[in-house]
A and B are shown apart, each in its own frame.
Chain A
Amino acid sequence: MTEGSESYEVSEVRPAYERFMEISNALADVQNRIEFHIEDFDKTDIFSVIPELAAFFQDLEERFKAMQHMISTDERFEPPESWSFTINKDAFAKLSQFEKASVETGIQNLRLIEQYTSEMYICIMEITGNVKLTAKPTPSPEATTKDWYLNLIPYSEGLRGGIYAGFAVFLGFCIYYFFNPIGHSGWFQLTASLALIIAASPQVRIAPVAKAIAMVFPFYMLIYIFILPHLSGGLQFFIFMFLLMFSTRFLFSGVVQAMGGLALVMVISIKNPQVFSFVGVFGAYVFTVTAIYFVYAVTYLVGAARPEKQVLRFTRRYFKSAKYLLAQLANTQEGRELGVMDKIRLTWHRNQVNNLAGRISIWSKAIDHKLFPNVTPEQIGTLTESLQLITLGVDELFASKYNYSESSGPEHDLRIDLEEWNRGLQEVFNDWSIAPDKPWKEGKQENIKTWLETLETKMQKSVNNIADPTNVKLDHFYNILVSYRGLTSAVANYARIVPGIDLQSWKEEKFS
């Protein structure tokens, strides 16, 4: 919401709206996590392990209905009652260690859903004026522990966009200063505006825009030169303008329509008294088209016109960052403290992993499939989805904040097992950071399955050896176990998808 654009009533409850947005995002994250692990419950009768689950789902549905009702009718409702999930111990005891881990993590996610929906409910009560909140919402743990300088770390694509925009403006200024062609100071003014737009969304294809404006501009120029001077009086002019605008919207579509509207406004400039100048309008045409093509040329030179290369570059960088994060995770599990530089690097790589999957998805939509007929948009869609799953897995692994310092005993054995698991994933991430289509475990799903089963058996033994099964640390262990398992299945999913995609054709150099 833009500051100052809202009414007084909205402005009064602005914090509640903002909080609602934060909670909605957090709720979406938890939903994603639950979806991520949904396969873990395939063999578990979850309703018998958590008896209140069915009633909780019912209550959730009622909460959402009540929220909808509150917004549409302003009716008053009581705040929802909180839930505590109990486990049926007999049913739980029959589960394997991994199933127990999944149930424990599932309950934590359910508690979060319960908490977030309650907070959403109260937010809506506040927005509709049913209750006045006095207590400030508790900030997320990450927000309170994050050092101030970590907020200053730039996002790599933002940095790149800034450098590109600066470079384009500099070149535009050089053209104005050394040659001073038609358009004069417009050479750095228009270049700056266009370059900033492109810096914000570098995947936008400029060539069709430039082509459209080059084609429609002469059409309006002809009208400007041959028809407009013959019109007398406002009425004729207004009727003609209406017909012109109507035909632009009716005859053209897409980019040509948008550029047609723009060209119409630029060419038929209304002045009082009205003068017609061919020199002015032709000069504007030459300058506008040349300036747009100039910005396109700069974009082309920096490689933005080759989205397939960007997707490959981002994928390599994604796995490089994912590998760094896993290595860092292994270090923290050894109890090593992080220095300032480590924290900066860690934040940089976490930002990369969190943002790159989305960027890859955006860039992949700009790929010209006529140039690469062997790679379908559906294949790219599944590839980006699998990367998003890996992001969820890495994110969850970090959220589990596992740290064991025991030097002997079953807990130490568990740590050794986890490190082996971590190393296995690091190796494959390293391979993919060089060649994103390299087969994992010789490209055989059975090899991946065997590797995973061996690790799981070893870990199961180590967990069974822990003397006190009610140990609080066991909960953390369960978290990390589920996270590693989820991440591994996401990695296996990528390994299954990627050999079917002809990424080799993207690597081949081509003019775009």
Chain B
Amino acid sequence: MNLVHHELNIGGVYIPPLFLAAIIGVIMAIYTAKLLNRYRLSKYLFYPPLVFLAIAAIYTVLLDYVIGIF
């Protein structure tokens, strides 16, 4: 299995896969936050902005790993 990531070449601009993973990670974190708000689960959190950052970071790392596999 090749875990060395390749940069994405968009018309000569090289985008790191982590950047792509971060964008998708943040979008997924936004929807997770919306779900938590909808079911009023966010009231159990101490400081939602930090939790949002943590969720986005977890998604980013997971996605980066998945991108690495493919």
Contact = CB atoms under 8 A, between A and B. Distances in A.
Interface stretch (A143-151, A279-287, A315-323): A279-287
A509 B50 contact: no
Given A286-B15, A301-B53, A510 B10 contact: no
A360 interface: no
B61 to A, nearest CB: 17
Nearest to A371: B37
Contacts of B44: 509
B63 interface: no
Contacts of A508: 40, 43
Nearest to A304: B49
Nearest to B56: A297
Interface in A112-151: none
A511 B10 contact: no
B43 A511 contact: no
A300 B49 contact: yes
Contacts of B52: 300, 511
A279 B10 CA distance: 9
A376 to B, nearest CB: 20
A346 interface: no
Nearest to B50: A301
Contact of A509 (B12, B34, B42): B42
Interface string A270-300: 0000000011001100100000000001001
Interface in B4-61: 10-13, 15, 33-34, 36-37, 40, 42-53
Interface of A is mostly: loop
Given A300-B52, A305-B49, A511 B11 contact: no
B69 to A, nearest CB: 24
A286 B13 contact: yes
Contacts of A371: 37
A301 B49 contact: yes
A511 B13 contact: no
B43 A303 contact: no
B36 A283 contact: no
A278 B43 contact: no
A509 B48 contact: yes
A314 B40 CA distance: 25
Contacts of A204: none
A509 B46 contact: yes
A70 interface: no
B49 to A, nearest CB: 5
B34 to A, nearest CB: 7
A511 B33 contact: yes
A278 B49 contact: no
Contacts of B46: 509
Of B36, B46, B52, most A-chain CB atoms within 10 Å: B52
A451 B27 CA distance: 56
Contacts of A503: none
A279 B13 contact: yes
Nearest to B33: A511
A510 B43 contact: yes
Contacts of B36: 511
B12 A510 contact: no
Given A300-B52, A301-B53, A509 B15 contact: no
A53 interface: no
Interface in A308-331: none
Contacts of B49: 300-303, 305-306
Given A297-B53, A305-B49, A509-B43, 8 more contacts: A182-B13, A279-B11, A279-B13, A286-B13, A301-B49, A306-B49, A371-B37, A509-B44
Interface of A: 182, 278-279, 282-283, 286, 297, 300-303, 305-306, 371, 508-512
23 contacts: A278-B11, A278-B12, A278-B13, A279-B12, A279-B13, A282-B11, A286-B15, A300-B49, A301-B50, A302-B49, A306-B48, A509-B43, A509-B45, A509-B46, A509-B47, A510-B43, A510-B48, A511-B33, A511-B34, A511-B36, A511-B42, A511-B51, A511-B52
